Structure 1
Amino acid sequence: MARGKRDWTQAKFERYIKEGRGQGSGKDYQPWIKIQDFPSKGRVSRPPGWKTNREHHLLSDNERRLFYVFEWSDVVVDIREQFPLLDLDLLMSIADDMAMKYPRDAKSDTPYILSSDFMLFVKQDGKIVQKARTVKMLKDLGSESVAQKLELEKRYYAAKGIDWGLVTEKEIPRLLAENVEWVHSAYKLEATTEMDIKELRYLGNILKSRLQESDATINRVTTALDKDMNIEPGTSLYLFRHLIARKEIIMDMLATKTSSCPSSREIKKIIF
Structure 2
Amino acid sequence: MKYLRLGKEGAETPCVLDAKGVARDVSSLVRDFGPKTLADLPELFSELDLDELPIYEGDKRVGTPISQPKNIYCVGLNYSDHAAEAGLPVPEEPILFNKSASTFCGPNAPLLYAAHMTKLDWEVELGIVIGKTALGVSPEEALDHVAGFTLVNDVSERAWQIERGGQWMKGKSFPNFCPTGPWLVTPDELDVQNLDMWLDVNGERMQTGTTAKMIFDVKTIVSYMSSYMMLEEGDLICTGTPPGVGMGMKPPRYLKVGDTVELGIEGLGKQKQTVETL
TM-score range, shorter chain: under 0.3
1 or 2, which has the higher strand percentage?
Answer: 2
Bigger relative CO (Cα 8 Å, ≥ 6 apart): 2
Greater C-alpha radius of gyration:
1
